[in-house]
Structure formats: structure tokens, C-alpha cells
Structure 1
Amino acid sequence: MFKIIGILLVVTAGISFGFSKAGKEQKKLEQGIALKRMLYLLQGEIRYGFTPLPEAVAVIAEKTAPEFRPFLNQIAKRLKSYREESFFAVWKEALEEQLKPQIIEPKFLEILMSMGETIGYLDKEMQEKTIDFAIEQIEDVIFQMKDQVIKNCRMYRSLGLSFGLLVVIILV
């Protein structure tokens, strides 16, 4: 009786481990899509709403994914305080404090960092082009990741099950 329960627990643990690793891989892709959506919202506010950058960041904070709201709210709050800080300094600090612990794929952080270097002091057209370029870069990363994520998810699930069964065979 205890042997059967132990076998089930070991196999279940292996499967759970595999599915959790696969979920983390899937989360990378979802974060990239959410980042792309956030940048589209920012671009739309600047292009069609004629909204200044500090206000545009505050507006999209309410429309974007919950994991990016603290990042955008911190930027909006700091920009509205009218301290003598550059946009890049505010962007970089918020990126380090809010997004770095949450973003799984480091390439997304690099893209956002380079976008923040140029977007704060440009005119409206150049801001739009900078955001367009960042969106294109994120789309490229997502495109490269898609096949790899699908393969990795299958592999992690299979390995989790295989590892659980291997441990059971070794122990029995």
C-alpha cells in the first residue's frame, strides 16, 4: 500500500516538475506578447491621442497587463514630480526596480533599455519610430522563441514523466 502511494507521489512530482518548467517557458512568450501590446498602446497614445510622454505612460498603465503596471506607474509618478531628471534616468531606475525581477527573457530588458535611451527627448515622430523599432525587435525575439518554446515545453513534460518513472524503477 505504501509502495503504491510512494510510486504515485514520485511520478506526480516528476510530472509536476516538467509542467512547471514548461509553464515557465510559455511565460516567456506571453511576456513578449504583453510587452508588444504595451508598446502599441504607448505608440497609440502618442500618435493618435497627441498625449505628452509622461501622461501617455500614466494612461497606458491602466490598460496594460498587471505585471507592468507598477513599472509604468513609477515612471508616471516620477515624471509628474517635475524633478530635474532625464527620462532615461527615470526609465532605467524603474526598469531595474520593477521589471528586472519579473521579466524572464533578458533580451526584452535590453530592448526596453535601448528604447528608453532615445525616446525621452525626441519629437513626436521620432518617438513613434523608436517605439516601432522596439516593437519590431520584440517581434523578432518572439518569432525566434516560438519554435524553441514549443519544443522545450514538449521536452520538459516528457522529461518530467521519464524522470519520475526512472526514479520509481530505481527505487523498486
Structure 2
Amino acid sequence: MQRVIGAILILTATSGAGYVYCSELKAYLEKMQYLRYVFSLIKGEIAYTHAPLPEVFQEVARRIKKPYRTWLMETAREVEQRTETGFVRAWSRCIDRYLKSLGLKQEHSILIKEPGTFLGSLEQETLDHTLQMYLNRVDLEIEKLREGLAAKTRIGSCLGVMSGIFLIVILI
């Protein structure tokens, strides 16, 4: 009887580990989609208001959730106060400081830092076109994540159950 209960517990635990792995993958995809949403809000705000970047960041920050709100508010504050020598440094530093909790992969962190190189220095029409190209690149990254998600969730679920069965066979 104890072996049966142990086997059920092992199978439940390993299946649960597979489920947690799958849910973490889905959460990561949602983070990337929300970052894409934030950048589309920034693009729209720049295109329609022609306001300075700190004002754009503050306006967009009012409409989004934390930690993205904190990131944009602090970026706006640093750009207004000119605490950094350039916009690129302030942008990168604020991303490193306030979006660290998202746990982005290195390649996606670099992708998020990229707009800092062109946001503060281009004309309106060029900036609009460049932001659209950037959003297209983010869309491609999200699509890659989405394609890999289906296979990885299937593998994660199967590995959870299979590893549980393997442990049960070894222990019994």
C-alpha cells in the first residue's frame, strides 16, 4: 500500500514539475508580448503627440502595469534630470535596473535596449519608420517563441510523466 501511495506521489510531483515548466514558458511569452505592447504605445504616443520623450514615457507609464511603469517613469526622470551623459546610457541603465525582475534572456534584453540607440536622435518620420521596423523584429522574436512553445510544452509534459514513471520503476 505504501508503494502505491509513493508511486502516486512521485507521478504527481514529476507531472507537476512538467506543468510548472510549461507555465513558466507561457509566462515568458506573455512578458514579451506585453513589452511589444508597451513599445507600440510609445510609438503611437510619439507619432500623435510629437511630445518630448520624457512626456511620452510618463504618459505611456500611466497606462501600463508594474514593473514596466516604474521603468518608464524612472527613465523619464533620468532623461529630464540629465543624470546620465546620454539617452542611450540612461535607457540601458533603467532597463538593467527596473526590468531585471522579468528574467529576460540575454538576447531579448539586448533587443529591448536597442531602441535607446535611436529614440532620442532621429527626425519624426525616420523615427516612426524605425520604430515600426523594430516592432516587426519584436514580432518575429515573439513568433519564434510561440513556435517553440508548442513543442516545449509537449516535451515538458511528457518528460514530467515519463520521469515519474521511470522513478517508480526504479524504486519498486
Q: Write the distance in 2 (CA, Å) between the matches of 1:135 and 1:65.
A: 20
User: In the TM superposition, what is the alpha-carbon distance from 1:80 to its structure 2 partner?
Assistant: 2.6
> Alpha carbon RMSD of aligned pairs, Å?
1.8
Which is worse superposed, 120-129 or 135-144? 120-129
Q: What SS does the aligned partner of 2:102 have?
A: coil
Partner of 1:66: 66
Partner of 1:51: 51
Measured at CA, do residues 83 and 148 of structure 1 come closer, stay the same or move farther in structure 2, by a change above 3 Å?
closer
User: In the TM superposition, what is the alpha-carbon distance from 1:78 to its structure 2 partner?
Assistant: 1.3
Deviations 1:9-64 (A, max 9, x none): 21111011101111122123212211111011001111112221111111111222
Partner of 1:155: 155
| Matched residues, number | 172
Q: TM-score, normalised by structure 2?
A: 0.90
Q: What SS does the aligned partner of 2:104 have?
A: coil
**Structure 2 unaligned regions, length at least 5:** none
Partner of 2:117: 117
AA aligned to 2:33 is I
User: In the TM superposition, what is the alpha-carbon distance from 1:95 to its structure 2 partner?
Assistant: 1.3
AA aligned to 1:127 is L
Q: Write the distance in 1 (CA, Å) between the matches of 2:84 and 2:107.
A: 30
Any residues of structure 2 matched to 1:1-40 within 5 Å, and which?
1-40=1-40
**Structure 1 unaligned regions, length at least 5:** none
Q: Write the distance in 1 (CA, Å) between the matches of 2:37 and 2:132.
A: 12
Which is worse superposed, 109-118 or 60-69? 60-69
Do 2:17 and 2:160's aligned partners in 1 also have CA atoms closer than 8 Å? yes
Runs ≥4 residues deviating over 6 A: none
